[in-house]
Amino acid sequence: MSKLIQTLCAFVVALILVAQGSAAQERRLVVYTANYRVSDALVAAYQKLNPGVKVSAVSGSTGPIAERAIAEMRNPQADIVYLFNGQTLERLRDAGVFQPYLPRNSAIPGEHMDPDGFFTLHMFNSMVMLVNKERLARRKLPMPTTWAHLLNPAFKGEITVASPIKSGTGVTIYLTLLDAFGWNFIEHLDANVFAYNDGGGSAGQQAGAGEIAIGLTLDAAAFEQVAAGRPVEIEFPDILPSNFTGGGLVKGAPNAEEGRRVLDFLATREAAEIMSPFVTATTVPGIGRMPEGHRIVWGDPKRPIDQRAFLEEFKKRFSR
């Protein structure tokens, strides 16, 4: 073999080794999320702190994304699953999606962590009424401030809300209404509902655009419409459907070490400050957008509710 060929071979081998070394050093992360608004802000902040990390986010409504994580358990594709409501986190834990991990140097009190360390709760979402003031005035409709006001026949076709069959926002709203008022109330509310949406933020977007007068939506979507200058007003009703939201490390995660770093970051005051414009409150004490005169009340429902049985009954009564 000539010296030239030997040199060329050595050069090619060196390039391969360099490429392999670069690939080995590249940091990657895949997140599954049910709230792209907050996720986008958190991912941007994390990448600014860690410019060498390539983050891929898969977002969608709670139900389909949770089902995807469960279906992939034998070959996990995500590293963390986060910004899901408490009921869904418990379902994912019980299905075996998570592996235990408690964030290091956490600013979040231990009471907001799963007792066995499978997930951490990061923020507190409330479900609100987003009212389009211009449409309300144009149609000479009264301002709703309580759930009972929504049963007014004048609001027929003026309300949208996420379907509890497809959305965590919808589940939170309707389980609260069922617990507080029963099926009869939900039947009467259905008479005024224009549409059941696939995602929790859609009703907020519709209210912001003036397509309907009242969107029953999550606080993040409502704050987004206010920030965009839409002619809307947020009403926090007399009973506030609410849920903790959080996430955990996927069992068998392809990039588990990076997943742990992100969960450490999500438990900091800095991350809570990033979340605060989007939510009523974070689980880091004192950070959030709690409206004056309101307080978080978190407790057990008046009576146990079988969520799966409720969803089957809802589907039977209100499928359109």
H-state helical runs in 167-302: 168-181, 183-190, 202-209, 219-227, 256-266, 269-275
User: What is the tens place of the pLDDT at every residue in 169-193?
Assistant: 899 899 999 999 999 999 999 999 9
Q: Say if residues 172 and 241 touch (Cβ distance below 8 Å).
A: yes
pLDDT at 11: 44
**What is the per-residue pLDDT across 9-46, written as a single tens digit (0 to 9) for each?**
444 444 444 444 444 457 999 999 998 889 999 999 99
DSSP per residue over 4-29, as a string?
Answer: HHHHHHHHHHHHHHHHHHHHHH-EEE
> What pLDDT is stored for residue 304 in this prediction?
75
| Residue 288: predicted pLDDT | 81
Confidence (pLDDT) at 23: 44
Is the confidence at residue 168, as pLDDT, over 90? no
Type and span of the H or E element at 77: none
Q: Quote the pLDDT of residue 3.
A: 55
Q: Record the tokens describing residue 153, joined without a space.
A: 């026949």
State residue 8's pLDDT score: 43
Lowest model confidence (mean pLDDT) among 50-64, 126-140, 301-315: 301-315
Amino acid, res. 13: V
Give 191-250 pLDDT, tens digit per residue: 999 999 998 899 999 999 999 999 999 888 998 999 999 999 999 888 888 888 999 999
Full-model pTM: 0.70
User: How do beta strands 98-99 and 242-250 pair?
Assistant: antiparallel
User: In this structure, what is the dihedral angle of CA atoms 178, 200, 114, 81, given to the nearest 10 degrees?
Assistant: 150
Whether the CB-CB separation of 128 and 234 falls below 8 Å is answered with yes
Lowest mean pLDDT among 129-138, 256-265, 289-298: 289-298
CB atoms within 10 A of CB 317: 11
How long, in residues, is the chain? 320
Q: What CA–CA distance (Å, rounded) separates 15 from 8?
A: 11
